[in-house]
Amino acid sequence: MAILVTGGAGFIGSNFVLDWLAEREEEVVTLDLLTYAGNPENLAPVAENPRHLLVVGDIADEMLVGRLLREHQIRAVIHFAAESHVDRSIVGPEAFIQTNVVGTFRLLRAVLSYWQELPLEKRQAFRFVQVSTDEVYGTLGPEDPPFRESTPYAPNSPYAASKAAADHLVRAFHRTYGLPTLTTNCSNNYGPRQFPEKLIPLCLTRALSGETLPIYGDGQQIRDWLYVGDHCAAIRRILDAGRVGEVYNIGGCNEQTNLAVVQQLCAVLDLLRPRADGRSYREQIAFVADRPGHDRRYAIDATKIREELGWQPRETFLSGLKKTVAWYLENEEWLHRVQSGAYREWVERQYGEGRIEKKE
Ligand code: NAD
Ligand code: DAU
């Protein structure tokens, strides 16, 4: 028996795989297409681990997914794979429809066909976890209560709309065919291995190279930040004890404006890697044009997962931020290879022809 993790070479997926292999005995099969956001180096610590297999391929490839499910007797699928960056979805939404909607649909269809063949006991124990986002709920006013699991969907970006569509398909596969699904809606993650196009790693890397730190609009947009390790722990808990067919919101209870986030990042950098001229990185902050359709505020009510499953975040924003900055400072080679595109060359050499499996 094993679990199948889609998108396990990305930011959250790789953290999930590493934590899983450190904490559990069970095998992991990672299925990842290695798009620009997928980096096998994220999984380097488990490259030689006999309990891990990286398969390079598309979630939309039903034949491949079906084969992996059967060959490895998969007992749970944790579905992270997605196009995940809002700004890219504004410039080029089609890839988001292809992977997040069509890809999720085909993945579900392959999983359903496998699940229907399982003996009763294994069918009952099987789980499909859809890893979704708080962005499907749309935007909040300053006085609105945080998103609950019952908040109606109102996605505002092509990314959020594609994730909402995927969540609806997951729900439909549960209600119509009985597939044992669970859906999680999580707030903004930060931590090691996040691709430097998202706010925190983008500003961190630009700070170090002496560039401006771009803040969209007035910087007063609010997000609820959660350390990635806490998100991974929540998913493990939901997989172990969540009720089938349910939705669980996951959040850090940590609402911050974007400006405050970047200012705190600068303060941590000032401590851990002071600028050569002794001045603060805050001086590099610059306000730039806003994101079209920019959601003003997200906030998560995580009462359900706390009361039902006993999960709550372990990191404070400051402790998580210090860990994150320390990881990037200790892994500047990772960053250089990502920024220079060198890791893409390596991916092409290693996995280019015919999308091969790494280990057999
Ligand atoms: P990411 O962009 O870092 O990683 C996505 C991974 O999916 C990459 O490794 C990529 O190669 C892979 N992938 C893309 N298309 C694929 C395909 N067709 N087949 C197989 N693999 C494919 O994303 P992330 O930030 O780690 O997010 C992971 C999941 O969590 C996403 O579903 C996202 O919607 C959700 N989520 C993210 C956040 C956040 O703050 N980052 C918060 C809540 C939910
Ligand atoms: O809320 C969960 C979502 O968080 C996930 O579903 C997405 O996959 C993930 O990318 C993230 O989406 P955001 O759009 O919130 O993340 P991003 O890091 O792109 O932006 C965070 C905030 O910072 C947002 O309000 C936009 C702002 N921002 C972002 C960038 C890249 C800036 O002000 N400047 C920037 O350069």
Nearest CA to ligand 1 atom 29: 80
Residue 200 CA to ligand 2 center (angstroms) comes to: 9
Q: Which amino acid is at 94?
A: E
Asked, for residue 277, whether it belongs to a domain, the answer is: no
Catalytic residue positions, numbered: 134-135, 159
* 173 CA to centre of ligand 2 in angstroms: 30
Asked whether residue 156 is assigned to any structural domain, the reply reads yes
Contact partners, residue 40, CB within 8 Å, separation at least 6: 9, 34, 54, 346, 347, 350, 351, 358
Stretches where the chain sits below pLDDT 70 are 346-347, 350-360
Q: Which residues of 114-139 are buried (b: 16+ CB within 10 A; e: fewer)?
A: bbeebeeeeeeebbbbbbbbbbbbbb
The answer to whether the Cα torsion of 9, 27, 129, 60 is positive or negative is positive
- Residue 288 forms part of a structural domain: no
Q: In whole angstroms, what is the distance from residue 264 CA to residue 258 CA?
A: 10
Q: Is the CB of 166 under 6 A from ligand 1?
A: no
Domain CATH number, residue 40: 3.40.50.720
d(CA 309, CA 304): 8
Q: Is the CB of 351 under 6 A from ligand 1?
A: no
State the ligand closest to the CA atom of 228: 1
60 in a structural domain: yes
CA-closest residue to ligand 2 atom 16: 198
Ligand with the closest atom to the CA of 89: 2
Q: Is the dihedral of CA 134, 96, 101, 21 positive or negative?
A: negative
Domain-located, residue 157:
yes
CB-defined site of ligand 2, < 6 Å: 84-86, 133-135, 187-188, 198-199, 202, 214-216, 221, 223, 258, 291, 298
**Which DSSP symbol is given to 282?**
G
CA 14 – CA 295 distance, rounded (Å): 27
The verdict on pTM exceeding 0.85 is: yes
3-class DSSP state of 56: strand
Q: For position 348, what pLDDT does the model report?
A: 74
Report if residue 209 sits inside a domain: no
Tell me what pLDDT residue 346 has. 67
Give the Å distance between the CA of 331 and the centre of ligand 2.
Answer: 23
How many separate domains does the chain show?
Answer: 1
Tokens of 202: 């983008």
CA distance 8 to 53: 11
**What's the CA-to-centroid distance between 314 and ligand 1, angstroms?**
23
Within a domain: 18: yes
Q: Which residue range(s) make up the domain with 10?
A: 2-195+225-256+294-319
Cβ(74)–Cβ(2) below 8 Å = yes
Residue-level pLDDT at 347? 66
CA distances in angstroms from 278 to 80, 160, 196, 275, 332, listed in the order given: 41, 41, 25, 5, 21
Beta carbons of 250 and 312 less than 8 angstroms apart: no
Report the nearest atom of ligand 1 relative to the CA of 190: 40
Residue 103 lies in a domain: yes
pLDDT for the residue 355: 40
Element (H, E) at 279: none
Q: Which ligand is nearest to the CA of 234?
A: 1
Nearest CA to ligand 1 atom 15: 82
Ligand 2 center to 3 CA (angstroms): 29
